[in-house]
Amino acid sequence: MAQENSCSNFFVKILFKMNISRNPEMTGPCRACLAQIQNPSMLVNEYTPLIYRPQPPRSSRFAVLLFGLLMLILCFGFTIGFYLITVETRDIQAQDVIMFSSRHNWKAENAVNTQHLHQPCKNIMLLFTNSTPCFDYRSCSLEMRNLQKSHMRSNHSDLLYNFVIANDNRIYEGRGWKYVPDLPGNTDNDTISVAFLGYPGISKPTAEEINQMMLLINFSITNHKLIHCFNIFTKPEELNYLEDIISRIREDFIHTRCF
């Protein structure tokens, strides 16, 4: 059988060559037949399937597999990223977030401060504002504006303090980390003042207010606005009311980092 096929293929080649020599201008289908003859593996025989489906080249299959693998990795990455974001958001506690209100937020008056702080600062002065306490963001913002106006009427250029911790557990920006506080007896340009809103002995700082103050100190150190081994002090007449808080600050920051 194989010998008969080879003989038939041989005679078919001879006939086509004779036809080409007689009629060199072959039509499109004849050229296709010639291509089949020149490649014997493409000749039709009894073993040729009735329906021929050409296989895609290996390069195309490799590209499809690579694309599918990349899409799988991309979907897997999105899934892991979404899970991590969800877990981190859930793990963040309110006690670890600084509740900060900028001058713009509590609608502070425009002020002209000229003496800049020398950063990182070396000292923190802790004290009370000796003013009316508040209970929510609206009343505390109003009290901050009244306090600023009172200080400016007393021939001060701005609110006296760098930061004020109010009874709504927010830290209100006064002179911030930029300008020197205007306090009696303070001549240093490396001291930050933090005041609790209220009267000493009457408005006792809550645990959340103290926690906000600790977060503020830690943020100041981390952002190089306060040295690690800072000093902390208060007015002599307010020491009895702030002594426990000052001791805690020294224990948590100074004693653990500087000794």
Q: Is there a domain that residue 52 lies in?
A: no
> DSSP of 160-210, one letter per residue?
S-SEEE-TTS-EEESSTTTB----TT---SSEEEEEESS-TTTSPPPHHHH
Nearest-angstrom CA–CA distance, 79 and 86: 11
Q: Is there a domain that residue 190 lies in?
A: yes
Q: Is there a domain that residue 54 lies in?
A: no
* ∠ CA 14-20-24, rounded to 5°: 170
Q: Is there a domain that residue 53 lies in?
A: no
Q: Kindly state whether residues 85 and 109 are assigned to the same domain.
A: no
Residue 11 reports pLDDT greater than 70: no
Kindly report, residue by residue over 185-220, the tens digit of the pLDDT. 777 899 999 999 999 989 899 999 999 999 999 999
Q: Is there a domain that residue 152 lies in?
A: yes
Q: Kindly state whether residues 179 and 253 are assigned to the same domain.
A: yes
Q: Kindly state whether residues 85 and 14 are assigned to the same domain.
A: no
Q: Kindly state whether residues 142 and 33 are assigned to the same domain.
A: no
Q: How confident is the model at residue 92 (pLDDT cuts 50, 70, 90)?
A: very low
Q: Kindly state whether residues 127 and 194 are assigned to the same domain.
A: yes
Kindly report, residue by residue over 151-167, the tens digit of the pLDDT. 999 999 999 999 999 99
Residue 94 reports pLDDT greater than 60: no
Q: Which domain holds residue 33?
A: 2-42
Q: Kindly state whether residues 80 and 112 are assigned to the same domain.
A: no
Cβ atoms 257, 230 nearer than 8 A: no
Q: Kindly state whether residues 123 and 28 are assigned to the same domain.
A: no
Q: Is there a domain that residue 55 lies in?
A: no
